[in-house]
Amino acid sequence: MTDISTTVDHAHEQDAHDHGPPKGITRWLFTTNHKDIGTLYLSFSFLMLFVGGFMALIIRTELFEPGKVLLNPQFFNQMTTMHGLIMVFGVIMPAMAGLANWMIPMMIGAPDMALPRLNNWSFWLLPFAFAMLSSTLFMSGGAPAFGWTFYAPLSTTYGPPSTDFFIFSIHMMGASSILAALNIVVTIFNMRAPGMKMMNMPIFVWGWLTTAFLLLAVMPVLAGCVTMMLMDRHFHTSFFNAAGGGDPLLFQHVFWFFGHPEVYILILPGFGIISDIIPTFSRKPLFGYHAMVYATVGIAIVGFLVWMHHMFTTGAPLAAQLFFMYVTMLVAVPTGIKVFNWVATLYKGSITFETPMLFALGFIVMFTFGGFSGLMLSLAPADYQYRDSYFVVAHFHYVLVSGSLFTIIAAVYYWLPKWTGRMYSEKLGQWHFWLTTIGMNVTFMPMHFLGLAGMPRRIPDYAIQFTDFNQICTVGAFIFGFSQLIFLYIVLKACLGKGKHDAMDRVWEGAKGLEWTLPSPVPYHTFVTPPNATTLQTESHAVF
């Protein structure tokens, strides 16, 4: 992880008082600098993206033809489980946390995060958690094979011995997320530059503030959930075991009480990123800043009241099904406000199509698409057909890949020149975008039809009439997977390349925000003295 060290080594060129970072591995082990920790988070997430992506390709290879291609079914199940866990907890969440660490202090004019030592710890819990989780692949009995939702009794009565390692790794990554969220809330509340009001903050900061509260509220519930599992497995309790008076259905309630807010945790910071990028490349202020803030908070609140839409077919009473159906549809209102505001920002703007903008526009189109398939799923009667089919797989990959992941990639392109001082190659960036978008749609679009035709998810084998579409999916997956190597090359070249620092301070002419007032690459220490009132005024989203 020392690979990014050059990015900030040039700090002392900019500022004679700046002592710069220490050398060697200890810099990364003991760092309390928000930029270093952000870099660590992002590097870790990038590594995990390739691990989880490799598993996805194994899954798609197995599904290239009906019958056995590569794997036995047990290992296939391990792959789907680990792929889901790694992508959710190891890629999207750390990447968002990395962006928060890098950008929030710079966006609110703070010298660092409020609790720098805690920050170090919250990152370093992660590599250990995931080392532990990955080690289960080599244990006798294999890795967890019950899906990333680890429903009881699959995970309690029938889970492999390695399930206990899984439980403790969930505890560790939960602790990491809670500490990061704690730090972010304290930073945003207490470290804003004098004169910066809550309603002047960039939407990315608002998105993360809301996300941090969601994390603080639901990660403890996840911790409680896996603790109950542990007790059921080893301490003769019966939370989820009917033999002792428990109820397996209770597991689904506890899990989805965490699980649904979790999906907003994965996307709300991304909404913030898009709300920063769209105005920059439209050269217009963000349309409806206040509405955006209220919509973000609104989504978070409603997110607590919809968990049972994951459980329509578990025998819930009609009244409950109706309630959760209508509230789920209600989520489309604040989300719709956001989409309309982005489009309204584009309206009559002078738009240019640099790579971050391409990813942002791709996000708007494809995320909305995923949102609509979500609306279809929210209809309880229709859900009886769609549930547990490839339609669901298609839906959540549209909102997570072309949703969360696209926003992260857009953010990296958007701020990479600011971080490293080097412009990426626009030509390569465009190649990356088009290959990714084509690969993504070729992979996941056919899955809608597979699901509607009745192909169940999480099955290594399928009926022969599904073969053609599965082969299209697999080809798309390989295009998608390998085009990420372009992204890897672009990022490594910007971080480690010997090219001169050609990025301007304001990188993008239409960009507004405190981070663009800093030199490129960003010095190791920034805003040791807070920005002055005039800068705040001219860079604020709410007023410009």
Q: Is 244 in the site for other proteins (CB under 8 A)?
A: yes
Apex CA 362: angle with CA 361 and CA 366, to 5°? Answer: 120
Q: What mask of x and - would describe binding to other proteins in positions 223 to 242, judged by CB under 8 A?
A: xxx--x-------x-xx-xx
Q: Is 381 in the site for other proteins (CB under 8 A)?
A: no
**Rg of the chain over all Cα atoms, to the nearest angstrom:** 23
226 touches 190 (CB < 8 A): no
Minimum separation from the CB atom of position 234 to other proteins (A): 11
List all residues 6 or more positions away from 536 whose beta carbon is below 8 Å from its beta carbon.
109, 193, 195, 196, 200, 514
Q: Give the binding range for other proteins (CB under 8 A) out of 100-108, 218-226, 453-461, 511-519.
A: 218-226
Q: Which of residues 459-498 bind other proteins (CB under 8 A)?
A: none
Instruction: Give whichever of 182 and 401 is closer to other proteins, judged by the CB atom.
Output: 182
Question: What size, in residues, is the chain?
Answer: 544
Annotation marks residue 260 as catalytic: yes
Apex CA 381: angle with CA 378 and CA 382, to 5°? Answer: 65
Exposed e or buried b for every residue in 369-407, given b needs 16+ CB within 10 A?
Answer: bbbebbbebbbbeebeebbebbbbbbbbbbbbbbbbbbb
Q: Which of residues 167-196 bind other proteins (CB under 8 A)?
A: 178, 182, 185-186, 189-190
Annotation marks residue 398 as catalytic: no
Q: In whole angstroms, what is the distance from residue 58 CA to residue 70 CA?
A: 8
| Tokens 């409603």, located at residue | 302
Nearest to 189 by CA among 209, 207, 213, 218: 209
- Active-site entry in 31, 162, 187, 335: 335
- Active-site entry in 264, 289, 398, 413: 264
Q: What mask of x and - would describe binding to other proteins in positions 131 to 160, judged by CB under 8 A?
A: --------------------------x---
Annotation marks residue 171 as catalytic: no
Annotation marks residue 60 as catalytic: no
Q: What does the DSSP assignment read for 42-105?
A: HHHHHHHHHHHHHHHHHHHHHTTSSS-SS--HHHHHHHHHHHHHIIIIIIIHHHHHHHHHHHHH
Instruction: Give whichever of 178 and 490 is closer to other proteins, judged by the CB atom.
Output: 178
Annotation marks residue 457 as catalytic: yes
Annotation marks residue 310 as catalytic: yes
Q: Is 24 in the site for other proteins (CB under 8 A)?
A: no
- Active-site entry in 233, 284, 338, 432: 338
Annotation marks residue 448 as catalytic: no
Annotation marks residue 520 as catalytic: no
138 touches 307 (CB < 8 A): no
Give how far the C-alpha of residue 493 lies from the chain's centroid of Cα atoms, to the nearest Å.
24
Minimum separation from the CB atom of position 532 to other proteins (A): 17
- Please give the residue ranges that form the binding site for other proteins (CB under 8 A): 114-115, 157, 178, 182, 185-186, 189-190, 216-221, 223-225, 228, 236, 238-239, 241-245, 247, 249-250, 253-254, 257, 315-318
Q: Among all residues, which ones are annotated catalytic?
A: 83, 112, 148, 176-177, 260, 262, 264, 275, 309-310, 335, 338, 457
